[in-house]
């Protein structure tokens, strides 16, 4: 299955980033390295995936044309008109150890092309069974062709009790005057690890809106790199991370403004409860000559437990003067006055907290760019906030 | 716009006013660094054995360390063996007892800089411990200070006269091996200032040191230690200008502040060392470690800095907020022009309960300069009720400059309230138009806007310093916007 020898794979694993790399200062991949090594030692035979029921249950929550990739294998392909789906034979080797690892091991890499106005959202369910120690790779390329518009839902789920490390690479190209809407839902097992890299490039006057929700996962690291090399591009992306006991959720974003005028805005919000750690690192780079750039970053965090840690770093690198850039970051807790107000209205503390945490997340939910996914996202968040409220009750801060 | 641009260029291109070389023979060590050099420095200063040992340990630790490369600055590799580590004015052996004995050429230098030492000291009520190259040559108002029990002297003097204090506090805030440049300083520091404010004393005047680098190829390694004992208050001013020359000069200073219970230290800096010429030739490399330790409850340390000089600035005045309710502040205006590079900011480490910190950083970047704000706000798990507000704004002037922000926030307590805001922009055409429409010239309008941009920081400076800071800002940038 591997395109490389075990020795070569081991060599790649040894080059995984460490906390000595500035970009990985807060996220330690040694557990992922460990799972990858153990998997290389054991190389368990992959059983045929038995996740049909799970897949059906999940895909029924959102009305979309679903492509299901179960344990790395493309299962169903119902492509709506204007959308083509192909397997990728020529996966680029990649420019980092994680990308090389992906390229060497990915089973069904897929390429989706969207042309014209596609009404029905394209759903992409990446489902891993994790019955035994395993590494899972996913490779997806999506091209929104000139003037096309379409919606993409990326849904990551894992089951099973065994250790698993998933490594995902998604490339989105939004061509000239195309409009792409994207939702990413990550609801993996609390014992599973994931690194994911999303690369977005934009053509002239292209528009990209995205919302990303991290609800599950044990250790999750998301990198989203957005490259604006054509004028008139408009980018707007949000992220919400809800972390409870034992979770480590890291979001790194990078926007390269190479030309102007173009705008980018991002807003990430996090709610942390229990022993957990979240990282948000937003980087906007305005290159020389990118005049007329308007870049805005916001990150807000609710820290609800003594054992939670947030590491936030909004970075701006600006190499020209005709720009408008700003960022704002806050770390705080629920407003005692608001809590008190709700309690005077007869809500108990937990219910009041739920109302307030829900409100904190609601702004992002209402902006989910794929209408069809909004209900499902809202329900998932509701469920997760309830889970988090239980910890709140045990650990009133 | 054409005339505006010309006008702006003429202002931006203004030459460094304070560039000249004072021709005083200096008695320097030959370039190079090894244990013998460390011993020689120590011997020249008649230091006790323990201090020599301290230096040697620092030197050995330094040898094992690597020069940091994470800062957003670029410069050719420094050859630490091409630098002479000690330069002292000729008069080192018999130091002048009063101003009259000071080398008149030296006084002339101060005159050129617009700081006639005695005049200024008397009129402004400022005691000046002038550091010319590496050895203190004049200290004024000593008696008045000693009446209050305040110790304000050169570091070498303190080693001789107050060894117990120096031994107790030296390296207690910035350990020898804290970082590459601090270790280097610990090994070869030449001189600096020492301040001790006894319990309950409010220092009767602003204390000030005028730094000045003179001899070519001589790195300057100052060491400043300010200790404010329980319930005391001191305001310390540090300012510097340097003569023009082509060789890069290395400066690696260490400043340590200790504030005990209820004590307050206000540390203000105006830094205007030679920034290099329009082509980036020459200029000072300024790698400074400044840290304050709020050791006692209710203590406060406030850093205010106006940074307009140096080819490269690398400094992060920081506060360790250990005592309950202690307060840390950082107010900064940094101006970079031509090919200057600055990577500066602060660290606020919240350790004690109910500690609070404020960071206001204003960066102005023009020409082809690159400037970065790099800051850390860290709230430890035990720092209940910690509070931080950070504001960092950048003003860009011209197409070829850069302004960058790297703020780190590491929060580990749920009762912490931490806010960070930053903006980057240029002076808007609307703002300028509005002012001009009111009959204000382009130059004055830009001045007003830039001064307004920096006001929050300037108002933190002692008055006489604020005036100087504004003048400096005008020299560096005045009207450089279109």
At A49, is the pLDDT very low, low, confident or very high (cuts 50, 70, 90)?
low
At B17, is the pLDDT very low, low, confident or very high (cuts 50, 70, 90)?
low
What residue spans of chain A are helical by DSSP H? 6-14, 30-42, 52-59, 97-105, 336-344, 349-365, 371-394
- If one compares B367 and B264, the residue with the highest pLDDT of the two is B264
pLDDT of residue B238: 84
Show residues of chain B in contact with A274, CB under 8 Å: none
Q: B408 touching A, CB under 8 A?
A: yes
Q: What is the mean pLDDT of residues A49-56?
A: 80
Query: d(Cα B445, Cα B438) in Å, to the nearest integer?
Result: 10
Taking CA atoms, A152 is separated from A165, A182, A241, B21, B371, in Å, by 24, 5, 20, 68, 40
A256 and A319 Cβ atoms separated by less than 8 Å: no
> Taking 50 as the threshold, does the pLDDT of residue B281 lie above it?
yes
Show residues of chain B in contact with A308, CB under 8 Å: 412, 414
The partner residue sitting opposite B407, judged by closest CB among A22, A313, A331, is A313
- If one compares B109 and B459, the residue with the highest pLDDT of the two is B459
Q: pLDDT for B287-318, tens place per residue? A: 999 999 999 999 999 999 988 888 899 999 99
Report DSSP state, residue A46. P
What average pLDDT does chain A have? 92
At B478, is the pLDDT very low, low, confident or very high (cuts 50, 70, 90)?
very low
Q: What is the mean pLDDT of residues A93-97?
A: 89
ipTM above 0.90, yes or no: no
B366: tokens are: 């023009």
This prediction's pTM: 0.85
Of A244-248, B243-247, B325-329, which range is least confident? B243-247
> Taking 80 as the threshold, does the pLDDT of residue A328 lie above it?
yes
The partner residue sitting opposite A327, judged by closest CB among B396, B422, B425, is B422
A108: tokens are: 């069904």
The partner residue sitting opposite A328, judged by closest CB among B394, B413, B421, is B421
pLDDT of residue B221: 87
What are residue A124's phi and psi, to 5 degrees?
-130, 105
pLDDT of residue B258: 97
> Taking 50 as the threshold, does the pLDDT of residue B11 lie above it?
no
At B474, is the pLDDT very low, low, confident or very high (cuts 50, 70, 90)?
low
Query: d(Cα A65, Cα A78) in Å, to the nearest integer?
Result: 6
Q: What is the mean pLDDT of residues A54-74?
A: 91
- If one compares B276 and A149, the residue with the highest pLDDT of the two is A149
Q: At B182, which helix (H) or strand (E)? A: helix B180-188
Q: Are A321 and B70 a contacting pair at CB < 8 A?
A: no
pLDDT of residue B64: 95
pLDDT of residue A231: 96
B212: tokens are: 């000045």
| Rounded percentage of chain A residues whose pLDDT exceeds 90 | 77
B149 and B201 Cβ atoms separated by less than 8 Å: yes
Would you list the domain boundaries of chain B? Answer: 25-427
A79 and A113 Cβ atoms separated by less than 8 Å: no
Identify from B424, B425, B446, B477 which residue to disrupt to test chain A contact, counting A C-beta atoms within 10 A and taking the largest count: B424
CB atoms within 10 A of CB B30: 9
Q: Where are the beta strands (DSSP E) in B79-219?
A: 87-89, 127-132, 135-139, 151-154, 191-197, 207-212
Q: pLDDT for B58-97, tens place per residue? A: 999 999 999 988 888 888 888 898 888 876 554 444 444 5
> Taking 90 as the threshold, does the pLDDT of residue B276 lie above it?
no
Question: Is the peptide bond between A392 and the residue preceding it cis, with omega within 30 degrees of 0?
Answer: no
Within 283-322 of A, beta carbons closer than 8 Å to B belong to 288-289, 291, 301, 303-322
pLDDT of residue B271: 83
**Residue B207 forms beta bridges with which residues?**
B127, B236
At A51, is the pLDDT very low, low, confident or very high (cuts 50, 70, 90)?
confident
Q: What is the mean pLDDT of residues A172-190?
A: 97
> Taking 60 as the threshold, does the pLDDT of residue A202 lie above it?
yes
- If one compares B337 and A270, the residue with the highest pLDDT of the two is A270
> Taking 70 as the threshold, does the pLDDT of residue A236 lie above it?
yes
């Amino acid at each position: 299955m591997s395109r490389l020898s075990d020795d070569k794979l081991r060599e790649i694993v040894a080059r995984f980033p460490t906390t000595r790399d500035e970009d990985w200062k807060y996220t330690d991949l040694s557990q992922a390295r460990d799972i990858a090594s153990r998997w290389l030692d054991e190389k368990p035979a992959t059983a045929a995936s038995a996740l049909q029921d799970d897949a059906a249950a999940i895909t029924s929550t959102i009305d979309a044309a679903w492509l299901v990739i179960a344990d790395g294998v493309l299962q169903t392909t119902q492509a709506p008109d204007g959308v083509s789906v192909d397997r990728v034979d020529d996966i680029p080797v990649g420019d980092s150890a994680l990308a090389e690892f992906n390229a060497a091991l990915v089973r069904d890499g897929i390429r989706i092309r969207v042309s014209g106005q596609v009404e029905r959202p394209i759903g992409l369910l990446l489902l891993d069974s994790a019955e035994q120690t395993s590494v899972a790779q996913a490779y997806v390329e999506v091209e929104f062709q000139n003037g096309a518009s379409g919606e993409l839902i990326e849904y990551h789920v894992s089951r099973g009790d065994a250790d698993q490390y998933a490594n995902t690479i998604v490339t989105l190209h939004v061509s000239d005057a195309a409009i792409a809407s994207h939702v990413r839902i990550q609801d993996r097992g609390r014992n599973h690890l994931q690194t994911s890299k999303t690369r977005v490039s934009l053509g002239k006057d292209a528009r990209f809106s995205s919302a990303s929700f991290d609800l599950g996962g044990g250790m999750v690291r998301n990198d989203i790199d957005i490259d604006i090399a054509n004028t008139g591009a408009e980018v707007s992306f949000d992220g919400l991370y809800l972390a409870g006991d034992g979770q480590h959720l890291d979001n790194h974003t990078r926007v390269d403004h190479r030309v102007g005028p173009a705008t980018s805005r991002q807003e990430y919000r996090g709610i942390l409860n229990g022993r957990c750690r979240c990282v948000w690192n937003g980087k906007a780079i305005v290159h020389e000559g990118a005049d007329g750039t308007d870049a805005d970053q916001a990150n807000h965090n609710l820290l609800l437990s003594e054992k939670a840690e947030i590491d936030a770093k909004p970075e701006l690198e600006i190499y020209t003067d005709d720009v408008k850039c700003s960022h704002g970051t806050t770390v705080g807790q629920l407003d005692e006055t608001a809590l008190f107000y709700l309690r005077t209205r007869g809500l108990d503390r937990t219910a009041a907290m739920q109302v307030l945490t829900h409100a904190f997340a609601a702004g992002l939910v209402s902006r989910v760019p794929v209408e069809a996914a909004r209900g499902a996202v809202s329900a998932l968040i509701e469920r997760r906030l309830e889970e988090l409220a239980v910890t709140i009750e045990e650990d009133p801060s | 716009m054409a005339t505006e641009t010309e006008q702006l260029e003429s202002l931006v291109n203004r030459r460094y006013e304070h560039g000249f070389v004072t021709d005083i023979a200096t008695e320097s060590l030959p370039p190079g660094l090894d244990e013998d050099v460390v011993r020689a420095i120590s011997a020249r200063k008649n230091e006790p054995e323990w201090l020599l040992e301290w230096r040697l340990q620092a030197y050995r630790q330094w040898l094992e360390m690597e020069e940091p490369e994470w800062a957003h600055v670029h410069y050719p590799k420094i050859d630490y063996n091409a630098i002479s580590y000690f330069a002292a004015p000729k008069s080192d052996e018999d130091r002048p007892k009063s101003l009259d004995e000071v080398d008149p050429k030296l006084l002339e230098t101060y005159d050129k800089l617009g700081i006639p030492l005695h005049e200024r000291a008397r009129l402004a009520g400022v005691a000046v411990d002038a550091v010319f190259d590496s050895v203190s040559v004049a200290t004024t108002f000593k008696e008045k200070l000693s009446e209050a029990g305040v110790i304000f002297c050169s570091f070498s003097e303190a080693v001789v006269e107050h060894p117990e204090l120096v031994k107790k506090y030296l390296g207690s805030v910035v350990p020898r091996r804290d970082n590459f440049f601090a270790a280097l300083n610990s090994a070869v520091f030449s001189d600096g200032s020492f301040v001790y404010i006894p319990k309950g004393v409010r220092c009767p005047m602003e204390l000030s040191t005028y730094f000045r680098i003179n001899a070519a190829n001589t790195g300057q390694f100052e060491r400043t230690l300010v200790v404010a004992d329980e319930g005391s208050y001191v305001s310390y001013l540090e300012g510097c200008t340097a003569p023009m020359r082509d060789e890069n000069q290395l400066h690696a200073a260490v400043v340590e502040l200790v504030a005990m219970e209820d004590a307050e230290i206000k540390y203000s800096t105006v830094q205007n060392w030679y920034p290099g010429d329009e082509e980036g030739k020459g200029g000072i490399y300024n790698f400074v470690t400044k840290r304050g330790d709020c050791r006692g409850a209710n203590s406060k340390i406030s850093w205010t800095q106006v940074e307009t000089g140096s080819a490269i600035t690398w400094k992060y005045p920081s506060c360790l907020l250990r005592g309950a309710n202690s307060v840390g502040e950082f107010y900064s205006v940094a101006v970079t022009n031509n090919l200057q590079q600055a990577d500066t900011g602060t660290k606020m480490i919240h350790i004690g309960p109910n500690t609070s910190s404020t960071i206001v950083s204003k960066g102005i970047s023009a020409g082809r300069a690159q400037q970065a704000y790099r800051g850390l706000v860290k709230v430890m798990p035990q720092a209940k009720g910690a509070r931080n507000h950070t504001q960092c704004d950048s003003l860009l002037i011209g197409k070829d400059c850069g302004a960058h922000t790297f703020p780190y926030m590491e929060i580990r307590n749920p009762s912490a309230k931490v806010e960070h805001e930053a903006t980057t922009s240029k002076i808007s055409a609307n703002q300028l138009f509005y002012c001009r429409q009111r009959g204000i010239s382009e130059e004055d309008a830009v001045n007003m806007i830039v001064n307004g941009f920096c006001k929050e920081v300037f108002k933190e400076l002692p008055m006489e310093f604020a005036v100087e800071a504004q003048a400096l800002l005008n020299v560096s940038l005045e009207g450089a916007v279109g």
